[in-house]
């Protein structure tokens, strides 16, 4: 099995660690300290060195933060993690529903007489701090910059990553970094900016066609960059990471040590493009009144995959689909009660490792059976490892990082005879997934405009789920990628080439979980015979191929178009994946893909 790199804490470790940090509060004359799940680069994923939230509290979710005051410590978590947090944090931590409860409102309730709350300016964005400060006006509560107090008490904190970065070949990238830099530099000139500061690692790696291993499961190299309007780049990165990149980067990319970054910012002429939602406070402070707020110039071009990236992703999904199908066939041959979750995780990773193009899994595999399946981002541990019993469902969410693409697939599988209420919920989830897959919509719409399609079948039964319907996915980059999302809050219009997940679900705490996920790519929709073609329309093409568990489908609940779509999808799955699996698995696949 691939090594797990997560920093975790057992609940009993929380109290002494919190006590040590509170001693630092006392020494600094502070009433509290903010501990986000973030690093200086403000990406979604962090290295083991930056897993401060997990180390302090035990909570390992991918989003959230802790506010440690002298007499209470709140762990702020969104709807995805409200079941998980209960099992991971000690009783001296108080889960706080977020964003329903804002940081400012919570602080006002806990510090009625005012106070000083510290934060590390490398780990928060100007948008986050400004929003909190606006909510604290007139309260006497001040947010103040300070050293990181967790780092002071984390004695065995891992060191920074320093593995060499590698060139991402042009056959997979589809565009040279010279052309990318020139294209984006023109956009800066057109906007009147002299340069843009890039802190997001996936943006930096996409721009320069490099990949790294600084973040577990994400092939990125951490660093900072300044993209000038001339197309030149100043790259601030540990020299140990650059040993294989000198010839690739060329004369227009100047490599400098990371500790020269802040000084270089002070020397820039404005306007300097910064993205308020991703740049650290300390960077914005260094730019001062020279700032031009705007989007990360790499974000949208990176999201709109070129032909080579789409072709590579499609091919990666076929090989990955073969590994998943081998696993599903193997799992179907095991008796209920004979397997534990960890055995399923290990077996799936063994099938994926048969592909020499696999570099890593794309995230820690989720394999939650029975009540564990209701924990949306469940991670099996020695303590939670559960047996797959008759009547259970198992949610299997996994993916691979291949040189030609990143995959992410979820299948919910019946173990033995499934409960009828679970079958009904599964069918509603399936109807939502199919409804989104079949959708054709006018160009210009965003996630908030169409996400309801994937939820409506559940809503009719007064059911719902607390995660977005879908996220963007990189091309051998992060498995979660913006700026596009299938989310009720996303305002980024979809464009051809964007790859997203389509993953409705349903979770009954203490009972079972359901999620079905395919990756889909935006394409221009062809006008059907008899259509007017008076407006440009977009549609999805499915990249993921693996069968849906037919035992969990209440066929009479499906309308005719949904049934036709599923039969066509299964026929295509058999056609594309059948030649890639063993003879024994091919026989199983023929049965799994039989028409309804």
Q: Which CATH number do you get for residue 349?
A: 3.90.230.10
Distance, in Å, from the CA atom of 129 to the CA atom of 127, rounded to the nearest integer, reads 6
Question: What pLDDT, in 10s, does the model give residues 301-312?
Answer: 999 999 999 999
Distance, in Å, from the CA atom of 383 to the CA atom of 505, rounded to the nearest integer, reads 25
Q: Please give the tally of structural domains in the chain.
A: 3
Q: How many helices (H) and strands (E) does the chain have?
A: 20, 28
Q: What is the pLDDT of residue 7?
A: 59
Distance, in Å, from the CA atom of 415 to the CA atom of 370, rounded to the nearest integer, reads 10
Query: Are 466 and 576 members of one domain?
Result: yes
Strand partners, 254: 234
Q: Quick one: tokens of 148? A: 């990181």
Question: pTM here?
Answer: 0.92
Distance, in Å, from the CA atom of 221 to the CA atom of 164, rounded to the nearest integer, reads 8
Distance, in Å, from the CA atom of 528 to the CA atom of 525, rounded to the nearest integer, reads 9
Query: Are 96 and 173 members of one domain?
Result: no
End residue of a domain, out of 109, 130, 153: 153
Long-range Cβ contact pairs of 451-455 (< 8 A, separation 24 or more):
451/486, 451/487, 451/488, 451/490, 452/488, 454/486, 454/502, 454/504, 455/504
Domain residue limits at 240: 166-302
Is position 3 within any domain? Answer: no
Q: What is the pLDDT of residue 2?
A: 42
Distance, in Å, from the CA atom of 300 to the CA atom of 80, rounded to the nearest integer, reads 26
Is position 444 within any domain? Answer: yes
Query: Are 272 and 345 members of one domain?
Result: no
Task: Give the strand pairing for 400-402 and 481-486.
Answer: unpaired
Element (H, E) at 20: helix 14-28
Strand partners, 411: 396
Residues of the chain with pLDDT under 50: 1-5
- Give the side-chain half-sphere CA count within 13 A for 480: 12
End residue of a domain, out of 302, 328, 363: 302
Is position 565 within any domain? Answer: yes
Residues in the chain: 596
Is position 416 within any domain? Answer: yes
With contact defined as beta carbons under 8 Å apart, do 221 and 165 qualify? yes
Query: Are 25 and 39 members of one domain?
Result: yes
Is position 68 within any domain? Answer: yes
Q: What is the pLDDT of residue 113?
A: 92
Q: What is the pLDDT of residue 44?
A: 82
Is position 158 within any domain? Answer: no
Q: What is the pLDDT of residue 72?
A: 94
Is position 55 within any domain? Answer: yes
Question: What pLDDT, in 10s, does the model give residues 488-540?
Answer: 999 999 999 999 999 999 999 999 999 999 999 999 999 888 777 778 999 99
Strand partners, 470: 486
Distance, in Å, from the CA atom of 372 to the CA atom of 366, rounded to the nearest integer, reads 10
Query: Are 519 and 371 members of one domain?
Result: yes
Q: What is the pLDDT of residue 90?
A: 80
Distance, in Å, from the CA atom of 517 to the CA atom of 214, rounded to the nearest integer, reads 27
Query: Are 206 and 264 members of one domain?
Result: yes
> What percentage of the chain's residues is helix, strand, coil (to nearest 5)?
40, 20, 40
Is position 5 within any domain? Answer: no
Q: Prior bond to 99 cis, omega within 30?
A: yes
Distance, in Å, from the CA atom of 581 to the CA atom of 594, rounded to the nearest integer, reads 17
175 — phi, psi (to 5°)?
-160, 135
Give the domain CATH number at 19.
3.40.350.10
Query: Are 318 and 463 members of one domain?
Result: yes
Question: What pLDDT, in 10s, does the model give residues 435-449?
Answer: 999 999 999 999 999
Distance, in Å, from the CA atom of 224 to the CA atom of 439, rounded to the nearest integer, reads 39
With contact defined as beta carbons under 8 Å apart, do 202 and 301 qualify? no
Query: Are 181 and 97 members of one domain?
Result: no
Element (H, E) at 393: strand 393-398
Q: Quick one: tokens of 443? A: 């160009």
Query: Are 373 and 507 members of one domain?
Result: yes
Query: Are 475 and 327 members of one domain?
Result: yes
Cβ neighbours of residue 159 closer than 8 Å, sequence gap 6 or more: 49
Q: Which of 3, 553, 573, 554 is CA-nearest to residue 324?
A: 573
Query: Are 85 and 134 members of one domain?
Result: yes
Q: Which of 225, 214, 223 is CA-nearest to residue 253?
A: 225
End residue of a domain, out of 129, 153, 177: 153
Query: Are 397 and 475 members of one domain?
Result: yes
């Amino acid at each position: 099995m691939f090594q797990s790199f997560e920093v975790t804490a057992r609940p009993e470790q929380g109290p002494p660690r919190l006590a040590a940090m509170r001693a630092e509060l006392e020494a600094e004359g502070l009433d509290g300290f903010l501990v986000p799940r973030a690093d200086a680069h403000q990406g979604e994923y962090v290295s083991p060195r930056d897993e401060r939230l997990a180390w302090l509290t035990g909570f390992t979710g991918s989003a959230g933060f802790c506010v440690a005051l002298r007499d209470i410590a709140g762990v702020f978590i969104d709807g995805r993690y409200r079941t998980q947090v209960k099992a991971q944090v000690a009783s001296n931590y108080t889960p706080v529903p977020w964003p329903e409860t804002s940081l400012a409102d919570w602080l006002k309730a806990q510090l009625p007489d005012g106070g000083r709350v510290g934060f590390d300016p490398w780990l928060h964005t100007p948008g986050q701090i400004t929003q909190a400060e606006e909510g604290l006006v007139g309260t006497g509560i001040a947010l103040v910059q300070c050293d990181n107090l967790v780092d002071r008490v984390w004695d065995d904190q891992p060191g920074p990553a320093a593995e060499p970065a590698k060139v991402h070949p042009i056959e997979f990238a589809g565009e040279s970094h010279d052309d990318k830099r020139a294209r984006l530099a023109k956009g800066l000139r057109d906007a009147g900016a002299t340069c843009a500061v890039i802190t997001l690692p996936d943006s930096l790696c996409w721009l320069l066609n490099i990949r790294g291993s600084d973040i577990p499961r994400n092939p990125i190299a951490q660093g900072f960059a300044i993209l000038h309007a001339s197309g030149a780049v100043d790259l601030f990165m540990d020299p140990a990471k650059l040993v294989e990149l000198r010839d690739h980067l060329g004369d227009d990319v100047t490599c400098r040590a990371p500790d020269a970054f802040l000084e270089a910012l002070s020397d820039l002429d404005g306007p300097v493009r910064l993205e308020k939602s991703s740049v650290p406070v300390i960077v914005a402070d260094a730019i001062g009144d020279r700032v031009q707020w705007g989007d990360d110039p790499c974000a949208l071009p990176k999201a709109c995959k070129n032909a080579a990236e789409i072709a590579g992703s499609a091919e990666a999904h076929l090989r990955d689909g073969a590994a998943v199908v081998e696993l599903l066939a193997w799992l179907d041959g095991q008796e209920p009660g004979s397997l534990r979750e960890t055995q399923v995780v290990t077996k799936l990773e063994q099938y994926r490792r048969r592909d020499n193009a696999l570099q890593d899994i794309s995230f820690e595999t989720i394999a939650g059976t029975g009540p564990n399946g209701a924990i949306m981002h469940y991670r099996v541990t020695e303590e939670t490892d559960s047996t797959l019993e008759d009547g259970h469902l198992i949610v299997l969410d996994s993916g691979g990082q291949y040189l030609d693409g990143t995959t992410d697939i979820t299948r919910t599988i019946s173990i033995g005879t499934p409960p009828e209420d679970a079958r009904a919920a599964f069918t509603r989830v399936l109807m939502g997934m199919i409804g989104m897959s079949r959708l054709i919509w006018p160009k210009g719409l965003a996630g908030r405009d169409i996400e309801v399609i994937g939820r409506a079948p559940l809503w009719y039964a007064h059911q719902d789920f607390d995660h977005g319907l879908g996220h963007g996915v990189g091309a051998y980059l992060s498995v979660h990628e913006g700026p596009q999302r299938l989310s009720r809050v996303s305002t980024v219009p979809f464009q051809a080439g964007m790859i997203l997940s389509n993953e409705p679900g349903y979770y009954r705490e203490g009972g079972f979980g359901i999620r079905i996920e395919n990756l889909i790519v935006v394409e221009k929709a062809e006008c059907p015979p008899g259509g007017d073609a008076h407006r440009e329309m977009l549609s999805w093409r499915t990249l993921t191929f693996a069968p849906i568990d037919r035992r969990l489908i209440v066929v009479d609940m499906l309308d005719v178009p949904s049934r036709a779509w599923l039969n066509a999808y299964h026929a295509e799955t058999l056609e594309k994946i059948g030649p890639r699996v063993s003879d024994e698995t091919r026989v199983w696949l023929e049965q799994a893909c039989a028409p309804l």
